[in-house]
Amino acid sequence: MPELPEVEYAAAIARQALVGRTIVRARALHAAQRKRFDDRDSATLAGERVVGVRRRGKHQLIDLESGRVIHVHFRMNGDWVVVLPGASVPNYARAVFELDDGSSVVLDDSRALSTLSLHAPASDPLPSLGPEATSPEFSAAWLQNIFASRRTPIKVALLDQRIVAGIGNIYAAEALWFARIDPRRPVNRLRPMQLTAIVKGVRSAMAKAIRRHQRYYGSEQTDGARDSQRFNVYDREGAPCRRCGAPIRRITQAGRSTYCCRSCQR
């Protein structure tokens, strides 16, 4: 489940399981992951201790005692599963880190689009990324600066990780619903007050998702009633807008679905 809130939650799980532990054996299982993380990489990880797990946008960096770094990106479906001794491995295990306490941290990804790669000390495997969507640096002033010379639709801009890091297709749509902004609006035609509303909308969407993860932390139970309220527009085509009752529409932008209310998002 891979936008900022989900990756944050996953990274916390990985951090708890990995930090301070020594890797006994690592291996990528699926051809798609083995392309960038081959058996030579895996072999060098035996005996390495993990000293930290960081998240930046939707990326995760696993810091090793040697200074090397494992870079992980979940793409569409990746997630971590911690497998305790004797427990069964998930169906879609694509990579496994076996640890010195007998547990394993497994990259679980049905579509196998996730990537992981090993990097030398002092190298920076991250692409160019904008400020974190949850940080104060992500502000109306920042958006005004970079939007002045562009005319891409605002929804497409929010998905550009060089502009702001961590927003994906769901929360881009949710944020613009909160902000009451039409996702097709060219960014250079947004007024300062609207930029402020967009920043607030992004923060609302992120905060709501993070609260949801906190609520579910440690419990296998899911609250069906709350789950149905999880999104205001995403995947709700035809359903009534929770603000004005008009039907939620689905449109396509940059090859991806955008959900919005054409009545109260202007």
Partner DNA sequence: ATAGGCCTGGAC
Partner DNA sequence: GTCCAGGCCTAT
Q: Which are the catalytic amino acids?
A: 2-3, 58, 256
DSSP, collapsed to helix, strand or coil, labels residue 106 as strand
Q: Which is nearer to DNA, 23 or 159 (CB)?
A: 159
Q: Which is nearer to DNA, 23 or 164 (CB)?
A: 164
Quickly count: other Cβ atoms within 10 Å of residue 1's Cβ. 16
Asked whether position 130 contacts DNA by CB under 7 A, the answer is no
Distance between CA atoms of 63 and 36, rounded to whole angstroms? Answer: 18
Residue type, 208: K
Please, are residues 106 and 114 in contact by the beta-carbon 8 Å criterion? no
Asked whether position 1 contacts DNA by CB under 7 A, the answer is yes
Part of the chain binding DNA (CB under 7 A), chosen from 29-37, 82-90, 141-149, 238-246: 29-37
Part of the chain binding DNA (CB under 7 A), chosen from 41-49, 97-105, 135-143, 255-263: 255-263
Part of the chain binding DNA (CB under 7 A), chosen from 13-21, 116-124, 167-175, 176-184: 167-175
The closest of 213, 192, 211, 215 to 203, measured between CA atoms, is: 211
Asked whether position 161 contacts DNA by CB under 7 A, the answer is yes
Please, are residues 30 and 111 in contact by the beta-carbon 8 Å criterion? no
In whole angstroms, the minimum distance from the beta carbon of 115 to DNA comes to: 9
Asked whether position 113 contacts DNA by CB under 7 A, the answer is yes
The closest of 80, 77, 109 to 94, measured between CA atoms, is: 109
In whole angstroms, the minimum distance from the beta carbon of 57 to DNA comes to: 6
DSSP, collapsed to helix, strand or coil, labels residue 196 as helix
Please, are residues 116 and 70 in contact by the beta-carbon 8 Å criterion? yes
Asked whether position 187 contacts DNA by CB under 7 A, the answer is no
The residues of the shown chain that bind DNA, judged by CB under 7 A, are 1-3, 6, 30-32, 35, 57-58, 73, 75-76, 92, 110-113, 127, 151-152, 159, 161, 168-170, 253-257
